A and B are shown apart, each in its own frame.
Chain A
Amino acid sequence: MSSNCYQYDVIVIGAGHAGTEAAAAAARIGARTALLTTNLDTVGQMSCNPAIGGVAKGQIVREVDALGGLMGEAIDATGIQFRMLNCRKGPAMHSPRAQADKRAYQHYVKCQIEQQENLDLRQETVEDLITETAENTTRVCGVTVRGDAKYVAPTVVLTTGTFLQAIMHTGDAKTAGGRAGEGTTAGISGALHRLGFEVERFKTGTPPRLNGRTIDYSKVEPQPGDDIPQPFSFMTDELTCEQLPCFITYTNEAVHDLIRKNLHRAPMYSGQINSRGPRYCPSIEDKVVRFADKTSHQLFLEPEGRNTQEVYVNGISTSLPRDVQDQMFRMIAGLENARIMRYGYAVEYDFSPPTQLWPHLESKLVNGLFLAGQINGTTGYEEAAGQGLIAGLNAARQTAGKSPWVPTRDQAYIGVLLDDLVTAGTDEPYRMFTSRAEYRLLLRQDNADRRLTEKADELGLIDQARCQRFQEKVVQMNRGVELLKNAKIDNLAANVYLRRPEVDWEQMCERVPELAGIETAAAQQCLFDIKYEGYIGRQRVEVERHQRLAGKRIPTSFDYNSINPLRSEAREKLSRIRPLNLGQAKRISGITPADLALVLAHLESKRKA
């Protein structure tokens, strides 16, 4: 029996983007939280590309921020280039993206964690999960760590990223580890196996990093940041930092030939790796093979920070051997003399299929054990952060005896993410796209605060300052709406006039001068709301229809085998997923309206009985 025992409300294992958000959220709502990481120097590390946001991902960051998370403020404080993507499309498509100073970002996150009340950040290597089983129910009650010590808590959040049974590949060279230079977490793999978790295998890759001193920037196209950079956090007034450019160059047929000749040496093609990787983030080998008719591919040269020459080459993720990687760059414009600082590699890792979780990310197998981030088969810092926040929040709520909270699909991209994961699972590393959100027009980056701030306040996730700021914005918006309703332009109500596609806010301000007094963010939301009115209305009708289904709850203990006429496929799927309501049941693939009708009929007859 170990002599060193520490008591907490919530233990979070892993301090990446999911772990830090989980720990911070739990601590913010008052849970005594321990955040355990094998290495204090990699807290909040950006393991892959030095960027935050992007289409759909930027919206998630705004949501994490509205829920009081770390990511938005961290990137605002440490970004080196900001761009609002998709600006030529409608407001629902606008997506913020930024390059980060990788090291500064990580320090910022670590510092926020250190300053968080109720939160202890500790360097520990977790060796095992401690569980108890009584009456067929298994519950987590803590973890043991290396060096004869244990941590005890009613809830544990696992955010071990790609570190489960991880193997890195460069050519035929294989190294155990989830990130260059780091090890793997054998103890937790063993525990999950013992507890009966299914695991599957994914792979992903990273590109080589170059020394910027050796790049000929005269031969590549610069890609500057926005003139007026827009912040991620609703708490940031403006961004004043000096922005650095990124650069674009291209591969060519000579490079493709080289790759084709050496394909047999790439682990993905030699048979050394069999697991599935993400289709939206293909390696250069994949691009050359699958799209053979494309004679060049775009490469983005992204600086990794202000105080380093290291450059991330986005678009050329590879696991080809070192000599091929060296040769490739010699044939690319601007990179002829570039020196590689880190070689690209592919990493294979275990993940736990997320259909083993409830929507609030607690495991169905082990009560009190939450899983978040890449361990659930997702990719991306933003997807990890969103899950981490929800897992940490709900772990703390469970410890406090409260029921879970998860955002719905019409409320947040995070809601889409959670529901997709636990309802459908994923057969490739899951990344968010706007096309996954059926209520895309409602889930805009500009209105994330309006969608979530009040709820965040109710949950205790945010401070007074944020609440107040939001209230002020609402007052401003209401004033804008009022002004637009009452003013007339060319005999039209101003809000009708504004609906014309060619009319923008500045023109409106000329016609209705009082509008100029409205603060930018509030004005923007007025504008978008009015422009989108018809479609928002239509999606709302859909949402309401769906809410009626979601209101028909199914007890988790519901026995689908008791419904005789139910098809066996439906029986098997429903028993496995155990949807919480008919809305979720409907989204399970292969479940038909007739199946649902049978379930509803049984629910109703039980309710009446």
Chain B
Amino acid sequence: MALIDADDTIVAIASPTSPAIRGVVRISGDDTLAILKRMGIHSEGIERPQRMATKVDLGSPLGIIPVDVMVWPTRRSYTGQPSAELHTYGSLPLLRGLVDEAGRCGARPARPGEYTMRAFLAGRLDLTQAEAVLGVIEAEQRGTLDHALRQLSGNLSQPLERMRSTLLDLLADVEAGLDFVDEDISFISDEDLVDRLSAIGTEIEQTLQVMQSRGGGSSRAMVALCGPPNAGKSCLINRLSDQQVAIVAEVAGTTRDTVTVDVELQGTLVTLIDTAGIEEAQTEVSQQSQIQARRSATEATVRLWCVDASGENFVDAANDLRTVATEIQNPQTIDIWVATKMDAGIHPSLDENWIACSAVTGEGIDKLLDVLGQHLTQQDSEEVGSILGTAARCTQSLQQASDSINQAILLTRSQEGHEFVSAELRLVAQCLGEVTGAVYTDDILDRVFGRFCIGK
């Protein structure tokens, strides 16, 4: 219930995160000064807001980095609490490193809306302003969480949800043993408990590793090129990546027809996805690629809907695409309509909603890049910050979950009562629930009654 509990100290990235711009990490809460001190930033004795140049050691591999710190030592700050801003280079790994370090020193990664809430409570925002932010958090949070999980860990949300379910089953076994003593059922033995705990522990550890290893470069926007076959998507991809110097990698996708290319467009790292042509599926293989194409299109940050500008059936093709676009609509995604192959002719019904271009002559490509760049920058500042915030929160939650699992194993081995084990498992369930966005509810009893014949 962090959003309305303004009593602990939070940390978050507070700035757009494109390279070359300065990045800011913000800390707010009563423990701010203590946390700074643990980070090696000494601000004791400061009575008035003050700026200081210092260095923070982020450990290997990031090392010691220069940081400009702005400290508000009293409640006279934007959030009405002691707070600080840490300014450094706008590099994602560095900013993330700072957030993680603050987390290790006792700060909790902030949830969306928390700064707004605190600023409101401090009287810095009026009700209308607060409402405007808080009213949309719900949807946004859901979207970002999904998005962040996909970006961070290659769709780990399903395995995490499974893990949580396994854990709740285990908890149900433990709880049944506590609440139903008179039954002639042995719910779970200590050996079995340790085995199952270890299995979940290992899975959590692995997930944590995946997350940590992918964490830094996780901010890539996905741009999907969609359209009927032969709409010139592949040529366009080549053109876009050709024109830009930095091709980072070229990987064959998981299905035959999806190709992804990592490029840097106007200062932002982007993954271009060439989806299979959207059409009626004839064979099983093409069915698979259709499914994959739609998934990519749904998950993308930006979708470029491509239609051959010179084609006779431009109107029909465009209408078909619009239907598909509506079907797989996603409020987080931006749609751009691209008329390709303008060198071969332009259909008369093409209007200003379309960006016409040619991969062959290069005509219109600059305009496309401009529009794309605008959206990406906007997307970048709004989204990357919150994805990183989500990442930090997920990592912290998983770390807690992992610690509690280990504690539960220890407790079981030393023959402590299962009520203690249960207390740890409840914490784990809560932590995993926070990662997957599931709210912990009292469905333990449902699981107990579903699995055991209990009661006199």
Contacts and interface: CB of A to CB of B under 8 A. Distances in A.
Interface stretch (B134-142, B265-273, B344-352): B134-142
Contact of A600 (B4, B416, B448): B4
A600 to B, nearest CB: 5
A566 B130 CA distance: 13
B456 A281 contact: yes
Contacts of B416: 90, 501
Interface in B365-419: 414-419
Nearest to B117: A597
Contacts of B439: 592
B59 to A, nearest CB: 29
Contacts of A440: 419, 423
B453 interface: yes
A92 interface: yes
Contacts of B2: 593
Interface string B106-119: 00000101000100
Contacts of A593: 1-4, 111
Contacts of A598: 131, 134-135
A549 B1 contact: yes
Contacts of A49: 456
Interface stretch (A167-175, A287-295, A353-361): A287-295
A589 B4 contact: no
Given A565-B135, A597-B113, A315 B4 contact: no
User: Taking each of B131, B132, B141, which has the highest tally of chain A beta carbons within 10 Å of its own beta carbon?
Assistant: B131
Contacts of B113: 594, 597
Contacts of B445: 433, 435-436
A438 B430 CA distance: 12
Interface string B133-161: 01111100100000000000000000000
B111 A435 contact: no
B178 interface: yes
A545 interface: yes
B52 interface: no
Interface residues of A, number: 60
Contacts of A438: 426
A435 B181 contact: no
A194 interface: no
A55 B178 contact: yes
B184 interface: yes
Contacts of A538: 423
Contacts of B111: 593
Given A601-B117, A605-B127, A435 B417 contact: no
A121 to B, nearest CB: 32
Nearest to B420: A535
B5 interface: yes
A7 to B, nearest CB: 45
User: Taking each of A279, A297, A314, A582, which has the highest tally of chain B beta carbons within 10 Å of its own beta carbon?
Assistant: A279
Contacts of B21: none
Contacts of A279: 449, 454-455
B413 to A, nearest CB: 11
Nearest to B416: A501
A594 B414 contact: no
A501 B412 CA distance: 12
Nearest to B439: A592
A230 B1 CA distance: 41
Interface string A583-598: 0001001001111111
A85 interface: yes
B353 interface: no
B203 to A, nearest CB: 24
Given A594-B113, A594-B134, A548 B453 contact: no
B3 to A, nearest CB: 4
Given A565-B134, A594-B138, A85 B182 contact: yes
A460 interface: no
B425 to A, nearest CB: 11
User: Taking each of B4, B175, B420, which has the highest tally of chain A beta carbons within 10 Å of its own beta carbon?
Assistant: B4
B363 interface: no
A294 B452 CA distance: 10
B181 A298 contact: no
B183 interface: yes
Contacts of A193: none
A605 B449 CA distance: 45
B194 interface: no
A273 interface: no
Given A89-B418, A501-B415, A535 B134 contact: no
A548 B419 contact: no
B78 interface: no
A605 B184 CA distance: 57
A548 B5 CA distance: 8
Interface string B1-42: 111110100000000000000000000000000000000000
B350 to A, nearest CB: 40
Interface string A483-499: 00000000000000000
B134 A597 contact: yes
A586 B423 contact: no
A216 interface: no
B444 interface: yes
A49 B184 CA distance: 19
A90 B419 contact: yes
Contact of A594 (B126, B137, B179, B419): B137
Given A55-B181, A281-B456, A597-B113, A92 B419 contact: yes
Contact of B127 (A501, A552, A601): A601
Contacts of B127: 601-602, 605
B120 interface: yes
Contact of A89 (B135, B141, B419): B419
B254 interface: no
B74 to A, nearest CB: 21
B444 to A, nearest CB: 6
A93 B178 contact: yes
A351 interface: no
A533 interface: no
A187 interface: no
Given A281-B455, A601-B127, A89 B3 contact: no
Given A287-B453, A440-B419, A298 B131 contact: no
Interface in A403-447: 433-436, 438, 440-441
Nearest to B418: A89
A55 B5 CA distance: 34
Contacts of B126: 605
B420 A90 contact: yes
A589 B136 CA distance: 20
B441 interface: yes
Nearest to B171: A435
Contact of B453 (A55, A56, A297): A297
A136 interface: no
A499 to B, nearest CB: 11
Contacts of A596: 1, 3-4
Contact of A282 (B182, B422, B455): B455
30 contacts: A55-B181, A56-B179, A86-B178, A89-B417, A92-B417, A93-B417, A280-B455, A290-B453, A298-B183, A300-B182, A433-B175, A435-B179, A435-B445, A441-B420, A441-B423, A501-B415, A501-B416, A545-B5, A545-B7, A552-B4, A565-B134, A592-B439, A593-B3, A594-B113, A594-B134, A601-B127, A601-B134, A604-B120, A605-B126, A605-B127
Given A501-B415, A597-B137, 17 more contacts: A55-B181, A89-B418, A89-B419, A281-B455, A290-B453, A433-B445, A435-B179, A435-B442, A535-B423, A582-B4, A586-B1, A593-B3, A594-B135, A594-B141, A597-B113, A601-B131, A604-B121
Interface of A: 49, 55-56, 85-86, 89-90, 92-93, 278-282, 287, 290-291, 294, 297-298, 300, 314-315, 317, 433-436, 438, 440-441, 501, 535, 538-539, 545, 548-549, 552, 563-567, 582, 586, 589, 592-598, 600-602, 604-605, 608
Return the 4 tightest CB-CB contacts between A and B, nearest first: A565-B135, A90-B417, A291-B453, A593-B3
